[in-house]
Amino acid sequence: METITYTYFCCYNNAFHAELSGAMRTIEVAHSKNWNSLWLELDSTLVVNGFKSNSEVPWMLRNRWNNCKYLLSNMNFYVSYVYREGNQCANSLASLGLSAIHLTFWNQIPPFISTSVIQNKIGWPIYRFVNY
């Protein structure tokens, strides 16, 4: 399995800033790979709302955000909200990203999420338990 690693690390002011930056980086990578369709499933309602209203986006990210919105104008794009438990693959990758100092791309499914990918593909339900 080929893994491509790029040095890319930045300190974030808060979780929203980090999640929004991650969404923007995803859009930039999709564009650089000439992908015509992109579906982002996010567990942040703030970031999902950012796609509906630019007023949610902090001014320090607004220029990059506007560039990403322009890139999306040439793609089939869909954004949706999902509970964190609803996308175990993304949750596992995000956990890895918390301690990562490099931006890494895999050309195949990384072994540590292969079980989650299979469960997602065959439609196994994911439950969210809450206490009332």
The CATH number linked to 105 is 3.30.420
Question: Of all residues in the chain, what percent carry a pLDDT higher than 70?
Answer: 85
> Which is more confident, 130 or 115?
115
Q: For residue 13, what pLDDT is reported?
A: 63
Structural domain contains residue 131: no
- What is the distance of C-alpha 19 from the center of its chain? 7
Structural domain contains residue 24: yes
Structural domain contains residue 128: no
pLDDT above 70: residue 9: no
Structural domain contains residue 56: yes
Q: Is the dihedral of CA 79, 85, 89, 91 positive or negative?
A: positive
Indicate the average pLDDT of the chain: 80
| 102-112: pLDDT as tens digits | 777 778 888 88
Structural domain contains residue 126: no
- Number of domain units in the chain: 1
Q: For residue 75, what pLDDT is reported?
A: 95
Structural domain contains residue 130: no
Structural domain contains residue 129: no
Strands (E), 1-132: 3-7, 37-42, 76-81, 102-106
Q: For residue 37, what pLDDT is reported?
A: 95
Q: Give the mean pLDDT of 73-81.
A: 92
The Cα–Cα gap between 102 and 9 comes to 6
Structural domain contains residue 105: yes
| 84-99: pLDDT as tens digits | 767 777 777 777 766 7
Lowest mean pLDDT among 14-18, 49-53, 72-76: 14-18
Q: For residue 119, what pLDDT is reported?
A: 83
Give the structural domain span for 65.
Answer: 3-121
pLDDT above 80: residue 33: yes
